Structure 1
Amino acid sequence: MIGLITLGTSPRLDLLSYFEEHCRGDKFILVGALDGLSNDSIKNLTVHEGKYPLSVRIGTQSEVIDIEVLKPFIEKQINHLHELGCKRAVLLCSGEFDFFFKSQIPIIRPSFLLEGTVKANQNNKNILVVSPIKEQIAANEKKWRSYGFNPIVIAIPPTDFSCKQIKNALPNDYVSQIVLDCISYTREHRLLVEKQTNWNTWTPIELVGAILNLY
């Protein structure tokens, strides 16, 4: 059994259904890091300033919460999944968690998969990175520069996705790859981008699915 941890609240049927469809043979339990918190408690988390803002889904709405604020809530759900019998868990976020979680089970972190995949497929260091919110642009630029790339970073919400901004942002010189840097970007988003641009494009959710199928 595999645990899935979304950073907001459950359910996230869009994420759960992807893994159930593409990782046949495995059973999944999905929990939210902020499950059980009142709306007021969640609102209080959003006032914290930080270095890496994340867009988290709360029901049908979204809030922006810093990555550091979420750490204890994520660790609590990791322990909960372990108690339920999960052998490993997936953190459903491609953000840069520059710390380790206290855990008795392996944690699959999509940011590592994205970094390794893009490095393994690079023709040069120029990449286009798509973030889900504008508040994350600076943090994602810093992240991908730390990986050794020259990123152009733009923001396009997964729920209002259009290739127009991507095509407008592409420089005249050579861009080797496009990274859709959020777990909520789907296979359909990737196929649309590749059709419009002809550049290799990556989504973290597909990379996680591929890794799970290797176990």
Structure 2
Amino acid sequence: MNKVGFLTIGQSPRSDIIPTFTEIFNKDIKIVERGALDSLNEAELLTVLARNEKNTSISRLRDGRSIIIDRRKLLPLLQMELSKLEQEVDMVVVLSTDDFSKLTCEKTIFYPNRIVTQMISAMADQPKLGLIIPLEEQRETMLEKWKDISEDITIAVASPFDYGNFEEAARYLRDYRVDLIVLDCMGYNEEHRQLVRKESGILTILPRTLVAGIVLEYL
């Protein structure tokens, strides 16, 4: 039986994401979850909160609350949990589209940011790209992340964790006549994708299903 590890930048379990993977896998596998913030208590969580507009990531705590994290403080916590997780599984999936490629892992590891950007690059040459992201503070980071894929990027903000206005975001990108839309966070789900696609009429990419399809090839 294959053992797949899932590493979230928040707290595990991620009951909002893992069912998507198990449905797509449709195989008898063992899933092991770990989170960068699993070992932190309420007081310790305050120490990893983002204090400025740069280097921010957003994730979910096990009680459903969202948390905005300083990515610089996140990396050592992620590495600590990853080092334990890789001892228990055959492969690891990072549950974030942010760039955490500095992590070290001896097992096969899937980075959604690489999968999604390379897939979009393969689909279209310099597309007029629309992004929906969770936080306004991530705008500059996202522009930097996608600059080699597109020179024409339009960004709208709608959080998957805090009742973002997806209809408004979809109309905004539609009015800019983008070629395709990427929901750039693993927290977005199929309901969000369908809503954006219906409102905009534009091809909308959901990273979690894209990543799940790639991982499935390894099972």
TM-score by length of 2: 0.89
1:167 lines up with 2:171 in the alignment: yes
Name the counterpart of 2:129.
Answer: 127
SS of 1:56 mapped into structure 2: strand
SS of 1:112 mapped into structure 2: helix
1-structure distance, mates of 2:148, 2:54: 15
Deviation, 1:123, is 5.7
- 1:188-203 matched pairs, under 5 angstroms: 188-203=191-206
Deviation, 1:8, is 0.8
* Amino acid across the alignment from 1:95: D
Name the counterpart of 1:61.
Answer: 65
Name the counterpart of 1:21.
Answer: 23
2-structure distance, mates of 1:60, 1:24: 26
Q: Please list every run of 5 or more consecutive structure 1 residues that lacks an aligned counterpart in the other structure.
A: none
How many equivalent pairs are there?
Answer: 212
1:110-130 Cα shifts (integer Å, max 9, x gaps):
001110111112264311100
SS of 2:185 mapped into structure 1: coil
SS of 1:153 mapped into structure 2: strand
Deviation, 1:68, is 2.4
Name the counterpart of 1:42.
Answer: 45
* Amino acid across the alignment from 1:188: E
2-structure distance, mates of 1:64, 1:87: 30
**Counterpart contact for 2:174–2:201, Cα < 8 Å:** no
Which of 77, 80, 87 matches 2:84?
A: 80
Which of 11, 14, 27 matches 1:12?
A: 14
TM-score by length of 1: 0.90
2-structure distance, mates of 1:149, 1:180: 18
2-structure distance, mates of 1:176, 1:24: 32
**Counterpart contact for 1:55–1:132, Cα < 8 Å:** yes
2-structure distance, mates of 1:29, 1:125: 37
* Amino acid across the alignment from 2:170: I
**Counterpart contact for 2:94–2:109, Cα < 8 Å:** yes
Higher relative contact order (CA 8 A, sep 6+): 2
1-structure distance, mates of 2:104, 2:11: 21
1-structure distance, mates of 2:109, 2:51: 26
1-structure distance, mates of 2:125, 2:50: 41
**RMSD across aligned C-alpha pairs, in angstroms?**
1.8
2-structure distance, mates of 1:190, 1:28: 25
**Counterpart contact for 2:127–2:149, Cα < 8 Å:** no
SS of 1:163 mapped into structure 2: helix
**Counterpart contact for 2:7–2:33, Cα < 8 Å:** yes
Deviation, 1:197, is 2.0
1-structure distance, mates of 2:34, 2:156: 29
Name the counterpart of 1:209.
Answer: 212
2-structure distance, mates of 1:112, 1:16: 20
2-structure distance, mates of 1:52, 1:178: 23
1:147-172 Cα shifts (integer Å, max 9, x gaps):
34421112101142422222124345
1-structure distance, mates of 2:137, 2:83: 30
Q: Which moved more, 1:175-184 or 1:119-128?
A: 119-128
2-structure distance, mates of 1:56, 1:195: 26
